[in-house]
Structure 1
């Protein structure tokens, strides 16, 4: 885990777990320039961060929530860098 964006890693991801009504947390989905991808999750009201092995090409912010005992994830649009 990389808690310092200036640590020299090629990329850095940070996520906050939403506290909106019904939210169980949050996630950041990401794609790297080396072709790999991943997802970083955080529980409700918590944060999480990580360094990556390649620069970030795209990311998508998501909220995790639960309704009537079912778990869902709602995500925004993909954002692309350079």
Structure 2
């Protein structure tokens, strides 16, 4: 979205310069300056797009039975991974089980309508999202998903 906006702005600047070039005696100098400006805008847009794609490539979102989980293996806060979980209001909560690159495992649980985010001190490699349907712990789980 940002990239398209910058590219459109760049094209509009170039079109305006072409219109101005018919009216101004110094149009060649103005044209060169504005073309340079449009190249700078396009370059900034490409850098922003590349940064967004790098960060988002490390994220996974999974929903099962109303329980929502997001995992980021490059959270840019110094932790190897980050997990966020939200428990559905229409259930008794939910949990996410995860495996780490170091062979470790973990589980993060929430109640109905609760949300929790934690840093995980290993790179999360796969998750399994579950929703608790009954007060006695009856739950259903989706399949294991690689991150």
Compute the TM-score of the two structures, normalised by the length of structure 1. Answer: 0.80
For 2:33, the equivalent position in structure 1 comes to none
For 1:61, the equivalent position in structure 2 comes to 129
Residue-pair matches, total: 73
Deviations 1:49-74 (A, max 9, x none): 111111111001110121xx532121
Alpha-carbon distance in structure 1 between the residues aligned to 2:139 and 2:112: 13
- Choose which of 33, 43, 49 in structure 1 pairs with 2:111: 43
Deviations 1:8-43 (A, max 9, x none): 1001111111122xx110111110000001111111
Higher-Rg structure is 2
* Residue 10, structure 1, aligned to residue 80, structure 2: yes
Q: Give ranges in structure 1 of 5+ residues lacking alignment.
A: none
Alpha-carbon distance in structure 1 between the residues aligned to 2:121 and 2:136: 34
Answer whether contact 1:18 1:26 (CA < 8 A) is retained.
yes
* Residue 77, structure 1, aligned to residue 143, structure 2: yes
Answer whether contact 1:60 1:75 (CA < 8 A) is retained.
yes
Q: Give ranges in structure 2 of 5+ residues lacking alignment.
A: 1-74
SS of equivalent residue, structure 2 residue 137: strand
